[in-house]
Amino acid sequence: MQKYKYKLLFITSLILLILSCSDNNNGKFMPTANTDIDTLQKFINLPKNPIKATWETGDIVKGNSNVPGPKDWALIALLEFDKNDVIEIIKQSTTNASKTANIPKSHFSTWLPDEISSQFSIDSSGGYYQTSSATHDASLFSKSPLLNGFYIQVNETDLLLYLYSN
């Protein structure tokens, strides 16, 4: 009987240990960026074929929630296109010249070039990077569940895209 109690205690402890492990990154994006355009197309629509893409995804955790279940998530991508393709994409999009773009600090990636980082500043709450650059509606890029977001034109060939679910 004593042996049975120890086995039960061991198994229960092992189960609790396994359940306490989590792959939750607390809403932070992973530190490495992906450059695979084929995989990116599984998440978003690409209205034109990019020359190059650097992107990553991450969870959006609301508050201090660690409740199991579906979570919202986001994707940030730096997309390089032919100059003429950028012109076409912008022509097909709605421009929000007065709308401020906000990206949560935890989603603002360290791999973004200084050319982009310098266009953003931290907002008064300290929780977001924001830019006053003109934003464009990202519906051309949207694919369920990433239906919300925007993009900004960084230069004549690069677009910074931010999409999220909710």
Residues 90-142: pLDDT tens digits?
A: 999 998 876 778 888 878 877 888 888 888 888 888 888 888 788 999 999 99
Checking if the pLDDT of 153 tops 90, the result is yes
CA dist 4 and 96 (Å) reads 68
The average pLDDT across 153-158 equals 94
CA dist 115 and 21 (Å) reads 39
pLDDT score recorded for residue 1: 60
Q: Could you tell me which residue, 161 or 66, shows the higher pLDDT?
A: 161
Residue 7 lies in a domain: no
pLDDT score recorded for residue 29: 55
Residue 158 lies in a domain: yes
Q: Are strands 52-60 and 148-153 parallel, antiparallel or unpaired?
A: unpaired
Residue 6 lies in a domain: no
Q: Could you tell me which residue, 148 or 119, shows the higher pLDDT?
A: 148
Residue 48 lies in a domain: yes
| Residues 143/137, Cβ–Cβ less than 8 Å | no
Checking if the pLDDT of 32 tops 80, the result is no
| Residues 57/78, Cβ–Cβ less than 8 Å | no
Residue 43 lies in a domain: yes
Structurally, the chain folds into a number of domains equal to 1
- Residue 160, amino acid: L
Range of the domain at 78: 24-164
Q: How many helices (H) and strands (E) are present in the chain, helices listed first?
A: 4, 9
At 121, which helix (H) or strand (E)?
strand 121-122
Residue located via tokens 């900004």: 152
